[in-house]
Structure formats: C-alpha cells, structure tokens
Chains A and B, each alone.
Chain A
Amino acid sequence: MNVKAVVDRFEGNKAVILVGDEEEQLVVDRAQLPPGTREGHWLRVEVRDDILTRAEIDEEETARVKARIATKLDRLRRGEHRKKR
C-alpha cells in the first residue's frame, strides 16, 4: 500500500484511477474499490504490473488535498493571481 492514487471518475461499472505522481491511468472494476468510494477520493493502493491488487480509502489525504485546492481556487476567484502583475 505504498502508492497513492485518486479516483478521477466512474464510467459505468468501471472506475478511472490516477496512480502515483505520474498519474498513470488504470481502468478498474468499481467492485475492486472499497465500498463508499467516490469521485475525488484519495486511495492507498498496491499496483503490480498495471494491475490494481489492493485499495483502501485515504480520508486524511483526501481532506488535505481538498483544503489545499480550496485555497488555490479561492485565490483565483478573488483574482489575486492578476493583482500581483
């Protein structure tokens, strides 16, 4: 469980997860993900040869990333990225 991944989207009964810093796309069965997994959830996964072998939800990482992105989005909404120009 040493790799992080994030659920980008669901497509029918498949889920598209982005694995690692490279965000390598794997298309896995939804049933391979823990119950309650939603779009945007961060996961701790085990991947062997482009095959997902284990996955668990990482609520802490999910919350951390959400907070970081909310801050960045707020700056854009307030136009701060234009003021410094």
Chain B
Amino acid sequence: MKTLKKAVLIGVAAIVFVCVIVGMFGGSDDDARPEATAIDVAQVSEPSEIQATAGPTATPQPTETPTRTPEPTGPLLQVHFIDVGQGDAILILAPDGKVALIDGGDSGSGVLQYLRAKGVQRLDLMVATHPHADHIGGLVDVLQALPVDEVVTNGQPHTTRTYERFLDAIAATGAVYTEVKRGDTLQLGVLTFDVIHPRGPTGQNLNDQSIVLRLVHSNVAFLFTGDAERDAETSILSSSQNIQAHVLKIGHHGSQSASSHAFLAAVQPQVSVYSCGAGNSYGHPHSETLAALTGVGSIIYGTDVNGTVVVTSDGSVYKVEVAKQGQPSAPPAVTPKPTEPTSTAEPIALTIEVVYLTSPISPGANASLSIRTVPGAACTIMVYYKSGPSQAAGLGPQNADGNGMAAWQWKVGTRTTPGVWRIVVTATVDGQRTTLEIPFEVG
C-alpha cells in the first residue's frame, strides 16, 4: 500500500535550483568559517510532466541546465533528504564513492527502496541520531538487507522492540559499533564529520541527546541536527563550537521545540530542510519555526511539500533539487469537530472529491485516502470506527497542494472491528467549509 501514497499524483515535477557561489576563504582549515559571497536563486526549469512513482523513490529529474548560475562540477558530494513520511533519513554520497546514511525513518518507510533505486549496495557509515522509532525503524530494514561497515549511536538506549531489533540487527551484521560524543570526529573517506552533540549518553529527553553532525565539504558546510531541541541547542551554543552551515537539516521535523532564534542566528543557514510527513499528527512544521527561519533569511524546503530534496556540492558551489515544487507552510491548526456533518447544501465553489481510497481493507493493513479540493484549502480527516475516532498516526490536518490534492496514510489496527465505518473529511478556505463523509469498509 505504501506505493499508493503518491500514485495518484500524476503531477508536475519541478526542479528548483539554488546555486550558491561560496567564496574562498583563507587557508583550508576546516574550523574556519566559510563565507558565502554571493547567493543566486534561479528557478530555471519549466515544469515538466512526469508520472510520479512510489513516493520515497520519486527521483528529481533535471530537465534543464541553469544558464545564469554555475553548476557544481568535478567530484560531487550529494546529500539526499529522503521523503520517508514522518521521520528523518539522509543519504550522503561522498565524492570518493563512500556512502553514509543518517537515520532511516520508520520501519517500512521506504528508505531501503530509495537506497536500492540509487544503486547503493552497501553503507560505509550508518548513524542513528537517537533511538526513536521514526529515526531507527528504517535502519533495521537497511541492516537486514545491505552490508554496513560501521554503525554509530550516542549510546543512549531505549526500551522499544524497534530499538531491540536495531541492536539485534547490528549484532547479526557484525558491523563495527561505535558511540560518539562532542569533540569526536567521524570519517567518511575524504570527508570528516565533527560531532557537535551530545556531551555524553545522559539525560532524560532522548531528542536532546541527538547526535548533531557538522560536515564541511571544502567551502560548503552542512549541519545535521537529528531531533535536537532547545536544551540541546543551548548546550551547543554554550560550547562555542563553530556551527555555521550553508545547509541546515532543521531540528525535530520543524517543531517549535527546536530552532531557537539564537541557534539559527549562529548557524546562519542559506538553505534549510525539514523532514516530515503531510498530515502528520503533530502539526509539523510549526509556523513559529518557519517564521524563525525566514527571519534569518533562509530558503526553506520540506519533504512533506517538496518530496525528496537533494543538495549537490562541488565544495564551492551547491545546488538544490526537489521532486516537487511547493512552498512549505504550517498545516492548519484546525481542531476537527467530532460531530455529525451538517447536511446543509454544499457551497458551489468548495467541493471535495475522492481520488483514491483503499476500501475494503483488512485489519493490520495500511490505508490511504487521496482527495482533491481547492488548492491551499485547510483539510482535516477523522476516521470513525465502532468505538470512535481512530488514534492511528498520520491523521493530522494538512493544506491541499497547488493542485488541490491532499493525501493521508494510516494503519488500520489489527484490533479494528470489521464493518462499514466512515471517514469525515473537511476542507476550509476563506472561512467557507465543506464536509464529505466517505464509507470505509474494514473486513
């Protein structure tokens, strides 16, 4: 069912190039502060029709070469912020052919399929920033399928079966197991990651123990923050490490629990990428985070809107390619009312049309619903079973995209009572709301 996620999106694949000329700076000391001397944003491609395939494996298809801005040339570093729904997964292809993966999304989130589609047959380095399921679940899938040389963690254990399966999978592969802390470095061929955080495997909040890595590729710097929240950011700032980065992986899926003004002011990102799923249950990305990033002058991409985001660097110039064009925005803060839909006449302009629904469906299977309504409409979903509205992950509100499409994916639990139940979807735009009730058969 996973592949159905975007099967209905026979959409427009747009490539946005952000080419940045990064000025040379004195010496080649990695600790020096790279200075960007120019930024040029060029939208160079005419949107071209492609048939979007399985979500996470949808590949950016460059259609045109930018003429106004220099292209990265020579040995290239590629950083893929993979669309794994709600979770993080970052593939790093080093200029010398070495391969690293930072986090893997949830189990079954498609990271393994993405790696295979990119021809990745083994990993030199795997980093689990912290042991939450939306970061390590997919790493188990990868460990069970591909050879991995070294697995790096912060040493902070968890008690979930997902975490236990992660440990079991490492043991089964025979990979080198390493724990890192602030001040350590990780080597990936010619590249060096500085471990910025955590100070050590202590503390209650697992997010704040996230491994934070800074990667400097000649004059282009990246910062990968895992789910580090404000306490971690405060600790990092007080450590006086260099955290400037041209490209920032935004902390904690764009949650306002991360991305403090002081932290962003120190990073000074030109390009920022968050990773989260459309219709997630947590309201990611939060509007406060997007505003803070805009406030420091960063361009923002999100995997919920843009699909997989790929940054390619030659060490002095980098470009950004996205699978889908779109402007990241916070999902609507609409609290759906668990009431019967009103039967008043539908407004003429605002309609909801079902594009796809998995029904009938068996308990334990993944369901998906795609609808079409007015572009930008605030959409909510409620799935009512016998006992009431489902608490499955992934049934959060979202904004319809530029084509008016919105889609949700959720699991129908194995304990769901068979029967014909109902899904209630609302769309709101300019204070006008419409509601659609859809029969949903479980059995």
A positions within 8 Å CB-CB of B: 3, 6, 8-9, 11-12, 14, 16, 18-28, 38-42, 47-53, 62, 65-66, 68-70, 72-73, 75-77, 79, 81-82, 85
Contacts and interface: CB of A to CB of B under 8 A. Distances in A.
Q: Chain B interface mostly helix, strand, loop or mixed?
A: loop
A17 B429 CA distance: 33
Which of B257, B281, B389, B391 has the most chain A CB atoms inside 10 A of its CB?
A: B391
Interface of B: 106-107, 132-134, 155, 157-164, 167-168, 170-172, 174, 176-177, 179, 204-207, 255, 257, 281-283, 364, 385-393, 411-417
A7 to B, nearest CB: 9
What are the 10 A-B residue pairs with the smallest beta carbon separation, nearest first? Answer: A49-B385, A81-B171, A50-B413, A27-B281, A49-B387, A25-B393, A40-B159, A48-B387, A50-B390, A76-B177
Contacts of A76: 167, 170-171, 177
Contact of A25 (B158, B177, B257, B392): B392
B120 to A, nearest CB: 23
Contacts of B133: 8-9, 16, 18, 23, 25
A22 B160 CA distance: 11
A49 B371 CA distance: 24
A26 B144 CA distance: 26
13 contacts: A21-B161, A24-B414, A25-B106, A25-B393, A47-B415, A49-B386, A49-B417, A66-B157, A69-B167, A70-B157, A76-B167, A76-B177, A81-B172
Nearest to B161: A23
A69 B155 CA distance: 12
Nearest to B395: A27
Contacts of A49: 385-388, 390, 413, 415-417
A3 to B, nearest CB: 8
A76 B205 CA distance: 23
Contacts of A19: 413
A25 B171 CA distance: 26
